[in-house]
Each structure stands twice: as C-alpha cells, then as structure tokens.
Chains A and B, each alone.
Chain A
C-alpha cells in the first residue's frame, strides 16, 4: 500500500520538485529500502530526460513571410474597402435610378400641370381686368378730348 502512495507522489510532486524537505526525506528513505519503487523512479526520470532533451526549434523563415504577406494583404483590403465604401456611397447618391427618374419625371409633370391649371384662370382674370381698364381709360380719354374731330381739323388747320 505504501508503494502505491509513494508512486503517486513520485509521478507528481516529487518529479516536479513540489515536495517539502520532510516529504522528500520520507520518499528518499522509502526508495533506499524498496527496489521496485527505485526502478519506477528511474524510469520516470528517464522519460523525463527525453522531454527535457528535446531540441527547441526555430520556426522556418517562411512562417513569418506568410504571416507578413497575410497581414499586408489584409491592410490593403481594409484600405481599399474604406475607399470603395466612400466611392459607392457617392455613386449611390448620384447614380441614375430608373424608379427615382420615373418618379421625378412624374413629379415634374404633375407640378407643371398643376401650376398651368392653377395659373390659367388668374391670367384670364388679369387680362380681362386689363381690358376693362384700357376701355375705361379710352372712354375717359375720349370724353376729355375731341380726338376724332380734332384729328382731322388740326391737321387740316396746320396744312392750311
């Protein structure tokens, strides 16, 4: 039973150096007496060495090149997309659109028709009023002057 406990400690805190001094001494005393646990401990240490001897590799140069290229592409796409969004906004505002054009045409026609119909009676009334004024002034002029008789007479007098 004690070997199970010792093995459990060996696999964990013992190997990772997390034991207190007393615990470590206790394990060391057991290892000195128990051949099987010594073998177990040796094997654990051997496996551990395989990991610790692993070579730290540098990533190949192309990895950074790929990352750099990807980032630069993204930055170009981002810049382009901002510019394109602005351009498309401007285009959207000024682009001729069939529905808008048709609507505008109808609106203009409606406006012209409405204004034409609305203005016509006023023009007629105005011209009628002008006629009346002219007629009245003509009549008054006729009354105040002897234009008809004078016309011939004065000329005749002058000529004579």
Chain B
C-alpha cells in the first residue's frame, strides 16, 4: 500500500469525497486482495472491501494517527474478512470449489496466459481452503503481501512468537493435506 499524505487523510476525515477516493485508490488493492484470499470468493471480497472502506470513512475522524494508517487498514481488512468468512462459511461450502474469481481481473492477457493464471488461482484456492481463516490471514500477509513478522504481529495484535507458530502450523497443515508428509517421521 502506498503512503498517503496526512493532509489527504485529514481532508478525507472531514468528509471530502475526492480525498477519500485517493485513500481508496491507495489502500483498496491490499484490502481487496486480502479479502479475496481469506473469503475465497470474489463477491464476498467486494462486499468486504465496501464494508472496510465504509468503516474507515466512519472512523477516520476518530483516528488519532498514533499507529500507522497502513497498519490500521490492514487490521480492519483482516478482521472484517475473517468475520465475513465465518459468518458465511456454511452457505459457502458448496460453492467455494466451483466458483472462482477470474472475472474481475483487469487483464488483456492471451487465452493461454489466462488458463495458466487460472491454474495458479485454482492451486492457490485449493491450498487456502485447507486452512483456518487465521492461518490464511497469516500466510496471505506473509507470502502475498510480504509483511515481516513484526508488521504481522502489529496488524494481527498478537505476539511475534504467535505469528511464527501460526505460520509453521499453517505450512504444516498444507503439507499434511497434500499427503506428502510420510506417516513415519524420519
């Protein structure tokens, strides 16, 4: 997420829609992608993105800039995506494997590239579906968004050691589900 000027944030906090659009442009790719990877569904990710930005709009005037704006947005996005996923988990179970997300990709790539991209998306989706929402959030923040342990700890409001152990457990789950872990340990 690109840095946003303090002046822009202040204008947005006062209800200036043009300034808020700048905030949206800077933060929405992160919010949308995190929501997409945690909910595993395009429409849900759009809904979460809207909810996240409405929440930011409502709370921006009370944001004291004590913490970084980025971290604040990360936290809202992750929490709302996890909550949304939990709320709709049951009704989604049937559709998750069938529907997935290529429609919204702004791409002019060729058909082959699209197919390849579709394979990658399908693989990623298969891996994500193995994980709990918390483990998804950890892996997405680390592997896709590139946050370090400390940034993840601040975003998720958990100790660094918890971040470390969650990442290990998530990777262990992926390994076990893939059936590649030998039953008898070496």
Q: Which of B61-69, B84-92, B116-124 contacts A (4 or more CB under 8 A)?
A: B116-124
Say yes or no: A59-B168 contact (C-beta < 8 A), given A54-B120, A70-B54. no
- Check A64–B120 contact: CB distance below 8 A: no
List the A side residues contacting B21 at CB < 8 Å: 64, 68
Pick from B33, B139, B143, B149: contact of A57, CB below 8 A: B33
Complex CA gap A62/B46 in Å reads: 9
List the B side residues contacting A3 at CB < 8 Å: 185-186
Q: Is B24 part of the contact surface with A, judged by Cβ < 8 Å?
A: yes
- Check A57–B105 contact: CB distance below 8 A: yes
Count of interface residues, chain B, beta-carbon cutoff 8 Å: 50
In chain A, residues 48-73, which have Cβ atoms closer than 8 Å to a Cβ of chain B?
48, 50-60, 62-64, 66-68, 70-72
Chain B at the A interface: SS class:
helix
Q: Is B111 part of the contact surface with A, judged by Cβ < 8 Å?
A: no
Q: Mark A1-29, 1 if CB is under 8 A from B, else 0.
A: 00110001001110110100000000000
List the A side residues contacting B159 at CB < 8 Å: none
Q: Mark B161-177, 1 if CB is under 8 A from A, else 0.
A: 00011011001101100
Say yes or no: A55-B32 contact (C-beta < 8 A), given A63-B50, A70-B50. no
- Check A16–B171 contact: CB distance below 8 A: no
Determine how close the nearest CB of chain B comes to the CB of A117; give it in whole angstroms: 64
Q: Is B53 part of the contact surface with A, judged by Cβ < 8 Å?
A: yes
Complex CA gap A149/B128 in Å reads: 136
- Check B168–A12 contact: CB distance below 8 A: yes
Determine how close the nearest CB of chain B comes to the CB of A86; give it in whole angstroms: 20
Complex CA gap A148/B154 in Å reads: 122
Say yes or no: A57-B32 contact (C-beta < 8 A), given A51-B124, A52-B143, A63-B46. yes
Say yes or no: A47-B28 contact (C-beta < 8 A), given A12-B164, A55-B120, A57-B33. no
- Check B168–A43 contact: CB distance below 8 A: no
Complex CA gap A49/B148 in Å reads: 17
Complex CA gap A13/B165 in Å reads: 10
- Check B149–A16 contact: CB distance below 8 A: yes
Determine how close the nearest CB of chain A comes to the CB of B48; give it in whole angstroms: 10
Pick from B28, B104, B127, B140: contact of A50, CB below 8 A: B127
- Check A71–B143 contact: CB distance below 8 A: no
* A47 closest partner in B (C-beta): B174
Say yes or no: A67-B121 contact (C-beta < 8 A), given A11-B168, A75-B15. no
List the A side residues contacting B101 at CB < 8 Å: 57
Of A44, A47, A57, which is in contact with the most chain B CB atoms at under 10 Å from its CB? A57
Q: Which residues of B contact A (CB under 8 A)?
A: 15, 17, 20-21, 24, 28-29, 31-33, 36-37, 45-46, 49-50, 53-54, 57, 101, 104-106, 117, 120-121, 123-124, 127, 139-140, 142-144, 148-149, 164-165, 167-168, 171-172, 174-175, 178, 180-182, 185-186
Q: Which residues of A contact B (CB under 8 A)?
A: 3-4, 8, 11-13, 15-16, 18, 34, 36-37, 39-40, 43-44, 47-48, 50-60, 62-64, 66-68, 70-72, 75
Could you give 12 example pairs across A and B, Cβ below 8 Å?
Answer: A11-B167, A11-B168, A11-B171, A11-B172, A16-B149, A47-B127, A50-B120, A51-B139, A56-B29, A58-B29, A59-B49, A72-B17
